A = this chain, B = another copy of it.
């Protein structure tokens, strides 16, 4: 029977990794998970497909155009485009079954039919944590978020990084003080400052009616610097008296105090009054995280505090604070920057080679014993030349090979070959376990 052959390929904008990349990707994901779990976040796993009327209840915005939406039978379906809307839906739907504050993490793929562009993905992982309160949520939680970012990126070890923080009430209070009417628009303009620079921001602000005196104040405000305590001192003495501003400064000061209690070293976080996250629904603290040596990647982890998560689904007031790591994009960028260890194409630590078919049983027994000790191992019993078997171990990055010939089986001492040094020694099973552990 001759079969028609279809050229195997995947869609543009979708990431698929080779084994060594996937292992590296999963190592990063595991670090994120273990740090999320250590802080008491529980895993959630919402459906990929939801009812369009529910998922898109909030409506509008750029995102909606990108949603993968389709009918199946009579049902209007959509693929999730983020993990925040499903969380809002989840806590509303299961409100009476949950205890608040509710800490959840979700690491799942989301889908956006974006314009095709290098480094942009249509299917990508988000790694979200949120702490959702009922009616109120202590500022302790706002400090815990950067402490988790710190522990993750410290463990990931991609060099220095900085968590930049700001407070929306400070920005809003400041805009109020400047008598700017459209504060949301002003936020969006300010948000662009790293891309377009101060002058261009001032120009855009003047176009929405901000006078020269106020533009000068924007400049002064933006240029407030120093360590966290100095910035807070400056903000207190700047002479802005409106309540929102003062509340923002108070909250920021509390959060900074708690961050320090979480033992996040000073070098790893700073207040940056330019951080706005203008397009988002944040109402309090906002966070962005930058890898010092790879600023061009942009923020690798962003988030903030929101006053009410789920107004579209419930009358319950559910304030929360959370962050998201865009893992697919981060991985892509780290890979492009050659920052990843890609030398392992398998997790196997020992490859057992029976030299003849009659030794396969012995090889299997040895493999079983190693696995019982938690050592990832496998038997290679294919009819391949010895050199090809060595090549297999080499190419996959398996560090040790155990060779089973007649002498080895009789003496119960096995030839343990180190693939890096090419040295070979006779060892008992116990000795091999000790070495491989």
Contacts and interface: CB of A to CB of B under 8 A. Distances in A.
Contacts of A133: 382
A367 B49 CA distance: 38
A308 B258 CA distance: 60
A136 B261 contact: no
Given A3-B311, A8-B314, A48 B45 contact: no
A10 B50 contact: yes
A17 B38 contact: no
Contacts of A313: 5-8
User: How many copies of this kind of chain does the complex include?
Assistant: 2
Interface residues of A, number: 107
A381 B141 CA distance: 9
A88 B367 CA distance: 28
Contacts of A371: 38-39, 151
Nearest to A393: B99
A378 B381 CA distance: 50
A136 B144 CA distance: 54
Nearest to A394: B99
A409 interface: no
A31 to B, nearest CB: 14
A103 B396 CA distance: 11
Contacts of A166: none
B70 A45 contact: no
A203 interface: no
A280 interface: no
A44 interface: yes
A412 to B, nearest CB: 16
Contacts of A263: 365, 368
Contact of A23 (B17, B19, B42): B42
Contacts of A14: 47, 49
Contacts of A423: none
Nearest to A366: B261
Contacts of A7: 54, 313
Interface in A47-72: 47-51, 53-54, 57, 68, 70-72
A437 interface: no
A23 B104 CA distance: 11
Given A72-B68, A361-B261, A19 B48 contact: no
Given A11-B75, A376-B37, A382-B133, A42 B22 contact: yes
Contacts of A54: 6-10
A4 interface: yes
Contacts of A18: 94, 97-98
A143 to B, nearest CB: 7
Interface in A360-416: 360-365, 367-368, 371, 374, 376-383, 392, 395-396
Contact of A9 (B22, B44, B93, B151): B93
Contacts of A251: none
Nearest to A101: B382
Interface stretch (A192-200, A268-276, A345-353, A424-432): A345-353
A26 interface: yes
Contact of A47 (B11, B25, B88): B11
Nearest to A116: B73
Given A8-B92, A14-B47, A99-B345, A378 B39 contact: yes
The 6 closest A-B pairs by CB, nearest first: A70-B70, A40-B378, A6-B57, A261-B364, A8-B93, A40-B348
Given A48-B111, A261-B365, 5 more contacts: A7-B54, A8-B54, A16-B45, A38-B371, A68-B77
9 contacts: A5-B312, A10-B50, A11-B47, A18-B98, A22-B42, A68-B72, A99-B396, A261-B360, A263-B365
